[in-house]
Structure 1
Amino acid sequence: MKPPTRIALRRLAANRRTLSISPSSSSPLPQRLLRSIHGTPPAPATVSPIHGQGPPPDPPQPTADSEQARLERRRKQAELLQRAQDMRTAAAVEKQSPSNPPPPQQPSSRPSNSGDKTSTKTPLLRKRFWKDVHVHEVDGAWEVHLDTRPLRHPTTKRVVRLPLSKHLLAGALALEWDLLVSAQQATRQHLIPLTSLVCRAIDIREDDEAREGIGSSNSSSSGSDNVNEGIRRSIVRTILRYLDTDSLLCWAPPPQRGTDDLEGPSLRDAQRSAAERVVGFLGTRVWPGVEIEPVLDGESILPRGQKPGTRQVIEGWVSGLDAWELAGLERAVLGGKSLLCGVRLLVEWSEGHVGVGVGAGVTAEPDDGGEKEKKFGVEEAARLASIEVDWQTRQWGEVEDTHDVEREDLRRQLGSVVLLVTGTGAR
């Protein structure tokens, strides 16, 4: 209270000088010149508390939606979309019917090569011109027949012929065409993924034969972007790019205290454990003596490449694959973004000389506990390719129609690789 007292006395002295009042004068000061000094804090306003009736409501919970109900809802949506498309198509056909002839068109200076085919193209493609799909053995190879018509390559128009050892692939290919409901669906690549993969392997084989001088000049593939380079060399060059950015060799930074206090093992531990298992298997059974190092570790943001000797060994191994194995490896690498994961799946199921699993007839070896090692299948490869996504969804949840669709699509692609490369081994 001492500083306010000095301030008040100074103001009082100034007022006395202004009024010409001497300090010794005994006359009382005016009441307006005196101000009380106190240090009582102001009392805040009292707010009435909010009284609620009963306990607080429960937080909102997502509705428990089963997988069957989700599929049923999507099926109904697809039926509604198909019904709307059929109505639009019927309206377009009705306008072009003879009872409603189209108005005469003005002659155009630009010639048209389409003629009347554009008006009848859509109704014809909506019909399925085959009734049954069969698999027949013709001249030492499997052929898929749509009634009596053999399945042909969409570009070269050659009959698609599969080796006798790939009877599972022939059956899956026939099932894919049996599930189509119209000829228009056969023109969409995402509805016939297995057919596209088989044609890719056939293109690689024909391109190799053409370059070796065995086949004719018409056997070269027309789907290659660079004819001089060749399909095989183009695939090898594309696959080796994933060696420097392999998803199995890109590890998360070490967890920091206070920021990564989540339950379970850290993402880095999961990635490192999976990479050590795959690299250990490949370094022992596939590429003996080859050292594969992580390309993204610690706090670095730019991946580092493998050693030149490692790249040379892997490039030579990939270049020596046959057409079926090379096409399968390309699909696995592009689908899983991992070269090591694709090679691990390929050598487990291939029927060729690189196979160390089912295709080569080698049974699983027992581990230290005396139990046989589990086969490396589609599910194991899919988990390796999506370690980070699975870890994030376990912590924060998944987005409907996004994560589940990507998960099933990855397993579909890896499953097609197994069907393509596996077989009985008797070529």
Structure 2
Amino acid sequence: MSDWKPKRFWKEAKVVEAEQGFVIALDARPVRTPAKAPLIVPTLALAEAIAAEWDAQAHDVDPATMPVTKGANAAIDKVRVQRDEVVALLAEYGDSDLLCYRATGPENLVARQAAGWDPMLDWAANALGARLFVGEGVMHVPQTERALGLLRAELARFDDFELAAVHDLVSISGSLVLALAVTHAALGEEDAWRLSRIDEDWQIAQWGEDEDAAISAESKRQAFVAAARFYRLTQR
């Protein structure tokens, strides 16, 4: 396997205003996505964050240190070309939302889930009009078409860049409700992450933490926080 990595060839990454938004130029060369599309983003804040990531690269370019650039690439190369499929995929989480599936015991876990998750389901009902039902165990809990339709409509209103962020918030947490609460600023991303981890954290408290699992969880937490930041950078 080759150890070749792209090298830094530019002196300065700067933001340039364009007709459709903002581009990032490496000296005089505009950045393109992996699919060779022009990297044009909708807000100055997002463009400045991307430029900062390129400026922070040293001798070798490390994409792992460039989450904002990665999110913008995903919005253009993936979400934009299959938008309907992405909306449909995320909408399916409304019919299987993490917050709707509760433990049958022990009592302290049941109570912890109710204390953390019930207020968020109430928020979805009040803010979005989507009341989701709760069940015990892993058997499917049917939701109403009205609630699912309202959640689909909420997803459809996002632009491509916002939807790229929402995709990560949903897929990492397993909860469409928590992701939407973050986008509405009804819940901070760290609180949303903790709520998504109630089951895992309870297990850790009982049996201790596996080192590999802890590393994986921290990586996911960082990705979740990065997705929330990306969403905020898209806001005009």
Q: 1:420 aligns with which of 216, 230, 234?
A: 230
Match for residue 132 of structure 1? 12
Q: 1:237 aligns with which of 66, 78, 88?
A: 88
Q: 1:151 aligns with which of 9, 26, 31?
A: 31
What's the CA shift for 1:182? 4.8
Question: Could you say if the C-alpha distance between residues 425 and 199 of structure 1 is closer, same or farther in structure 2, counting changes exceeding 3 Å?
Answer: closer
**Pair 1:292-2:103 in alignment:** no
What residue identity is the alignment partner of 1:420?
Answer: F
Unaligned segments of structure 2, at least 5 residues: none
Contact 1:239 1:330 in 2 (8 A): yes
Classify the secondary structure of the residue corresponding to 2:101.
Answer: coil
Match for residue 76 of structure 2? 202
The superposition leaves residues 102-139 of structure 1 with CA deviations (integer Å, 9 ceiling, x where unpaired) of xxxxxxxxxxxxxxxxxxx866x463223433334445
The superposition leaves residues 163-214 of structure 1 with CA deviations (integer Å, 9 ceiling, x where unpaired) of 23x41x223322333343455644xxx4543323212223467x4xxxxxxx
Match for residue 253 of structure 1? 104
Percent of residue pairs identical: 27
Contact 1:129 1:183 in 2 (8 A): no
Unaligned segments of structure 1, at least 5 residues: 1-88, 90-120, 208-220, 222-230, 256-264, 349-374
- Paired with 2:138 and 2:21, the residues of 1 have a C-alpha distance of 51
- Paired with 2:71 and 2:234, the residues of 1 have a C-alpha distance of 20
Q: 1:410 aligns with which of 203, 217, 220?
A: 220
Question: Could you say if the C-alpha distance between residues 204 and 122 of structure 1 is closer, same or farther in structure 2, counting changes exceeding 3 Å?
Answer: closer
Question: Could you say if the C-alpha distance between residues 301 and 337 of structure 1 is closer, same or farther in structure 2, counting changes exceeding 3 Å?
Answer: closer
The superposition leaves residues 353-375 of structure 1 with CA deviations (integer Å, 9 ceiling, x where unpaired) of xxxxxxxxxxxxxxxxxxxxxx6
Contact 1:131 1:146 in 2 (8 A): yes
Number of aligned pairs?
236
What's the CA shift for 1:270? 1.1
Classify the secondary structure of the residue corresponding to 2:94.
Answer: coil
Q: 2:41 aligns with which of 162, 165, 172?
A: 162
Match for residue 304 of structure 1? 141
**Pair 1:388-2:199 in alignment:** yes
Contact 2:20 2:42 in 1 (8 A): yes
The superposition leaves residues 331-368 of structure 1 with CA deviations (integer Å, 9 ceiling, x where unpaired) of 111111111111111122xxxxxxxxxxxxxxxxxxxx
- Paired with 2:39 and 2:175, the residues of 1 have a C-alpha distance of 30
- Highest Rg: 1 or 2? 1
What residue identity is the alignment partner of 1:392?
Answer: Q
- Paired with 2:13 and 2:233, the residues of 1 have a C-alpha distance of 22
Contact 2:91 2:155 in 1 (8 A): no
The superposition leaves residues 227-266 of structure 1 with CA deviations (integer Å, 9 ceiling, x where unpaired) of xxxx1221122112222332222111132xxxxxxxxx71
The superposition leaves residues 127-162 of structure 1 with CA deviations (integer Å, 9 ceiling, x where unpaired) of 32234333344457333232332211110x233122
Q: How does 1:14-163 map to 2 (within 5 A)?
A: 125=5, 127-139=7-19, 141-155=21-35, 157-163=36-42
Match for residue 159 of structure 2? 322
Contact 1:243 1:339 in 2 (8 A): yes
- Paired with 1:138 and 1:240, the residues of 2 have a C-alpha distance of 33
- Paired with 1:159 and 1:312, the residues of 2 have a C-alpha distance of 34
What residue identity is the alignment partner of 1:276?
Answer: D
**Pair 1:340-2:214 in alignment:** no
Contact 1:328 1:346 in 2 (8 A): no
| Higher percent of residues as helix | 2
TM-score scaled by length of structure 2 = 0.84
- Paired with 2:150 and 2:11, the residues of 1 have a C-alpha distance of 50
Q: 1:178 aligns with which of 55, 58, 82?
A: 55
Question: Could you say if the C-alpha distance between residues 244 and 138 of structure 1 is closer, same or farther in structure 2, counting changes exceeding 3 Å?
Answer: closer
- Paired with 1:132 and 1:399, the residues of 2 have a C-alpha distance of 43
Question: Could you say if the C-alpha distance between residues 238 and 174 of structure 1 is closer, same or farther in structure 2, counting changes exceeding 3 Å?
Answer: same
Contact 2:162 2:234 in 1 (8 A): no
- Paired with 2:234 and 2:166, the residues of 1 have a C-alpha distance of 19
Contact 2:97 2:174 in 1 (8 A): yes
- Paired with 1:240 and 1:202, the residues of 2 have a C-alpha distance of 20
The superposition leaves residues 55-76 of structure 1 with CA deviations (integer Å, 9 ceiling, x where unpaired) of xxxxxxxxxxxxxxxxxxxxxx
Contact 1:204 1:323 in 2 (8 A): no
| Higher percent of residues as strand | 2
Question: Could you say if the C-alpha distance between residues 425 and 252 of structure 1 is closer, same or farther in structure 2, counting changes exceeding 3 Å?
Answer: closer
